[in-house]
Chains A and B, each alone.
Chain A
């Protein structure tokens, strides 16, 4: 097919409407056929091919586990073989010394891996992903070196005479039996990681992968969620380790090297990050391709390496990348009769002080971003924070929301200090925000972006509406409600990256509102919007206020500020220079100075031109 023909065919396919139901049926049929084929495989293949298949299954389990860390949570892990090793060694040592059976060691090996996931995860949670990569690499090597140097692990000899697994009294010895055992364990891994992916935890991982700062700022408990990714990934890896040791009856440290970690990573990336069928396909390619190339053994790794490069050039997203939602897939069942409509957020007494900022100060290196800022935000009002570029407005926001811990001063929410709280805790207490440069989760669809906003109140691991739960009908209804509120309900299935600029702003606001905040902090929502969009935005912000949420606004667009604000605070070089109703601030001499500089105060007319203040 020529490129033109292919493009044409693709266009035709795109024009053909897809029925969601038909797609589901096809998928079910394909999945069913694949399951049947995998069950019948031993009838079709030779012993040799079956031993390859057992290795494929092992790597598929490993891929599924690493997929949680790399694919879901976006944390690069170069030492995943450590968990493979920990599963294998724990299970083998327990079998050899305590004479436990394969199945009895299973929970213990999985727990040991979970603990080691904690150990590696905990000290490194503050690190950014690339530093994390080398720390995981180091951890992997340390585990291997310890296994090589200690006597209890058998040193370089490793452990021998590990009994085979037994199922209903039969030892699993032949390739076929091992294959079925592996298939069973793989099915467990598929089910577990599949459920995790659909859980709230899975969504939190995806948001973390897309933008860690933003996800914390909308209420995702990032450190806990990251740690859980390591732990869950480690537990699946331990499963593969146990299977490996029972398969060979002997393990030694050379099976768990950095190269093994890299092979597993290749499975994940080649298969397609985040995709479960991708992991199985990736494992099949990584294991089977070198096997197919056996007849030319001298060149097989070279060809494998070249194939890897070509594959990445041709399909950087992997062979079978994770599926996206299709049009019309986001709906919510109607309210069940008798259930009261969702509460419209926590109401406060109008006029009472919600947020109190006093003597706030912070410097970056030698540069004072804010020197001394104080103000109160009252319930039911829109308060604007204005000032020239570099006045310290965004730093004030970052200090309030916990992205920056202020060096001086206090931030009190309803009398409670927010200092040194993690951003997600501050969201839970009722302060939501948007960003100056819009920070959506670009790779997630609009509905998911919105649903992430629920994380602030669903961050407990084992609670009924906790991280491990699935998205409930009530969750979806709430998301739909705010999407409708923001005028985005028709675009719920689109990727955030596909939205127009104005819609992106509105989605960020809808996402922030999902956490049922007391206060919404908007950082230049009007930047870059056209006049029509601006009108709609102002309407939206008023609606937010009317729904009982106080608004703190940073804005340069004076039409917006003057049209919306109940009060205005002016910052210059980190200090409050004026505060009061818009009309009063507008005529304040110091404000005019701040905007135009002291020497150029000759004409109030120019000021009006520059600031766009028109009465």
Chain B
């Protein structure tokens, strides 16, 4: 006999119920009764499961302003989504501690989009029904596209923190904004570092066939070619494996001086470790999705000397050290790669609401465009007419002594790579 409890509520005995359902089914010639009882049982289970939780919030009324955060909270990308949500919550906490916006508290309303188009459509509809004034979040392009279209139809601005796909802001939706650079802006900076600072001519480029990674790889490859470098390898791997030794052996066959990987940290961490095991000696450099402490934990001593380009994140800015320590204190782990972009997305949203003096979405949109310079923890920026972030900055970090250290930055006046002060 198995008793099923949800919380402290006794639902039913599995064995017993199974016997009953079977009995009713056969004796009844499978009439309607058995299915109906089963449906009722399923619904009872559902109801019992959500009995304890309350219903959603009610928008900007009653002294709070709701900011919607659609992110993946289940499935393969739940980790990234959780990091982003934490960034949003931390931002709200800080704003509220400072008195909120015009006396109203910011409330973060999150919905799981599971990185799937259909779930995303539902998450967006749910957020809109919860009366949000503005949305800030998103992770996968798969989900971000339907989310943006739905927000566009509802006229609600959407500040994206992690979606680097150029397509998103090119559709001409006035509601689209982003606090992160586009894929096609990072590539030239990476190429410049490789050709002007490392002065390497033979470059291997790898990606993981995700929208972001492939976009970054493409823009890097074309910039490298324009800078006169030879791209000796340009291919994608299958993410999610544990073993990339053969992928690396193949790269080694093309005899590169540097290997640039535009995918995410789990694969890059494994590759750093396995490259050392294979006795490979070319320089390894990762894109801005690799700035994650897990990379160093996985690769161990093999990570030392690895390069990662990134936006000048809080970790490397004295002005924003508070964010990292607050994050660490609240969630007992370091921020994820997009936590700080989300922090800024919520921050800039709050400032726009304040400037608009209203929670009317159309006024917030004008206010967002009207911000001339917002000093966020990812640097100062404003939005161009498409809603893209300007300017986009990148620095290069290096792994030293078990952590990322700021290494070089591009001096815009001289075009030279200099030490990060």
Contacts and interface: CB of A to CB of B under 8 A. Distances in A.
B187 to A, nearest CB: 16
Interface stretch (B21-29, B291-299, B372-380): B21-29
Given A155-B209, A156-B209, A303-B49, 7 more contacts: A156-B213, A292-B49, A293-B50, A294-B112, A295-B54, A296-B50, A311-B38
B420 interface: no
Interface residues of B, number: 67
A319 interface: yes
Contacts of A296: 49-50, 53
B145 A55 contact: no
A289 B47 CA distance: 10
Interface of A: 3, 6-7, 10-11, 13-14, 46-48, 50-52, 54-55, 58, 148-149, 155-158, 160-161, 173-175, 244, 247-252, 254-255, 259, 272, 281, 285, 289-298, 300-301, 303, 307, 310-311, 313-315, 317, 319-321, 323-324, 326
Given A292-B46, A315-B38, A297 B33 contact: no
Contacts of A7: 23, 27
Given A294-B111, A319-B35, A10 B50 contact: no
Contacts of A161: 171
A295 B49 CA distance: 10
Interface string B138-158: 001110011001000100000
Contact of A51 (B17, B21, B110, B125): B125
Interface string B37-59: 01101100110011001111000
Contacts of B56: 295
A314 B236 CA distance: 46
B118 interface: yes
Given A281-B39, A310-B14, A315-B38, A6 B23 contact: yes
Contact of A48 (B30, B50, B53, B122): B122
5 contacts: A3-B16, A157-B211, A157-B215, A248-B146, A315-B21
B122 A52 contact: yes
Interface string B2-34: 001010000000101111110111011111011
Given A248-B146, A298-B73, A255 B39 contact: no
A297 B73 contact: yes
Contact of A307 (B42, B74, B112, B119): B42
Contact of A10 (B23, B125, B142, B149): B23
B117 interface: yes
A13 B36 CA distance: 15
Contacts of B28: 10, 13-14
A310 B17 CA distance: 10
B27 A11 contact: yes
B45 A307 contact: yes
A155 B122 contact: no
B128 interface: yes
Interface of B: 4, 6, 14, 16-21, 23-25, 27-31, 33-35, 38-39, 41-42, 45-46, 49-50, 53-56, 73-75, 110-112, 115-119, 121-122, 124-126, 128-129, 140-142, 145-146, 149, 153, 165, 167, 171, 209-211, 213-215, 236
Nearest to A327: B29
Contacts of B14: 310, 313-314
A58 B119 CA distance: 12
A7 B214 CA distance: 62
B45 A13 contact: no
Contacts of B140: 254
A319 B39 CA distance: 7
A156 B211 contact: yes
B74 A310 contact: no
Contacts of A314: 14, 17-18, 21, 38, 41
Contacts, number: 161
Q: Interface residues of A: mostly helix, strand, loop or mixed?
A: helix
Nearest to B56: A295
A300 B214 contact: no
B27 A157 contact: no
Given A175-B125, A314-B18, A317-B25, A293 B39 contact: no
Residue with the greatest number of chain B CB neighbours at <10 A, chosen from A7, A47, A156: A156
Contacts of A173: 153
Contacts of A48: 122, 125-126, 128-129
A7 B165 CA distance: 61
Contacts of A14: 27-29
A51 B121 contact: yes
Given A10-B27, A293-B46, A313 B18 contact: yes
B141 A252 contact: yes
Contact of A289 (B4, B16, B46, B110): B46
A244 B112 CA distance: 20
Contacts of A10: 23-24, 27-28, 33
A285 B42 contact: yes
A248 B14 CA distance: 41
A118 to B, nearest CB: 28
A295 B73 CA distance: 12
B29 A326 contact: yes
A263 to B, nearest CB: 10
Given A298-B73, A319-B42, A6 B24 contact: yes
Given A10-B27, A319-B39, A47 B129 contact: yes
Contacts of B119: 290
Given A155-B214, A255-B117, A307-B45, A291 B122 contact: yes
B112 A300 contact: yes
B45 A310 contact: yes
A132 B112 CA distance: 35
A307 B25 contact: no
Nearest to A59: B118
A272 B38 CA distance: 12
B38 A295 contact: no
Contact of A47 (B21, B42, B117, B128): B128
Contact of A297 (B45, B74, B129, B142): B74
Nearest to B215: A157
